[in-house]
Amino acid sequence: MVGQVCIIQTTLPGSWIEAEVGAFSQQMLVAGAACVQHSSIRSVYRWEGETHSSPEWHLQLKVSLSKRQQVLAALEQQHPYDTPQIVWHTTESTDSYSTWVDSQ
């Protein structure tokens, strides 16, 4: 059997320490995410006509399809950026993993 899981991705300021990222991740768990993974990355992007390169934190949230909207709402409300990157997609997973995500 094949299950489905929503994966939501965003970035946070690279100036944040691990404890701040952990606290933000905990807020996403409270909002309904089953799992939040984070790692440090470097982003290259255009902002207000200029190219920037800066360290950031990458977050990947695993969410059940039924909780996607409430997690997205919490993410938008609590995100520190004026225009945060918030993208998501639905993906296939093992049935046992999607059942676990749904149960959280």
Asked, for residue 72, whether it belongs to a domain, the answer is yes
Output the domain CATH number for residue 73. 3.30.70.120
What is the total count of domains within the chain?
1
pLDDT at site 86: 98
Residue 50: inside a domain: yes
With respect to residue 93, please indicate whether it lies within any of the assigned structural domains. no
Residue 62 inside a domain? The answer is yes
Q: Is there a domain that residue 92 lies in? A: no
Which pLDDT score is estimated for 23? Answer: 98
User: In this predicted structure, what is the pLDDT of residue 85?
Assistant: 96
**Of 30, 14, 12, 21, residue with least CA distance to 73:** 30
Structure confidence at residue 31 (pLDDT)? 98
**Ranges assigned E (strand) in 1-104:** 2-13, 35-47, 50-63, 86-94
Residue carrying structure tokens 């039924």: 66
Q: Is residue 14 part of a domain?
A: yes
Q: What is the pLDDT along the chain (104 residues), one digit of tens a residue?
A: 799 999 999 999 999 999 999 999 999 999 999 999 999 999 999 999 999 999 999 999 999 999 999 999 999 999 999 999 999 999 999 999 999 999 99
Domain around 51: 2-87
Best CA proximity match to 3, nearest among 76, 56, 55, 64: 64
pLDDT value of residue 100 = 97
| Residue 86 burial class via C-beta count within 10 angstroms: exposed 0-12, middle 13-18, buried 19 and up | middle
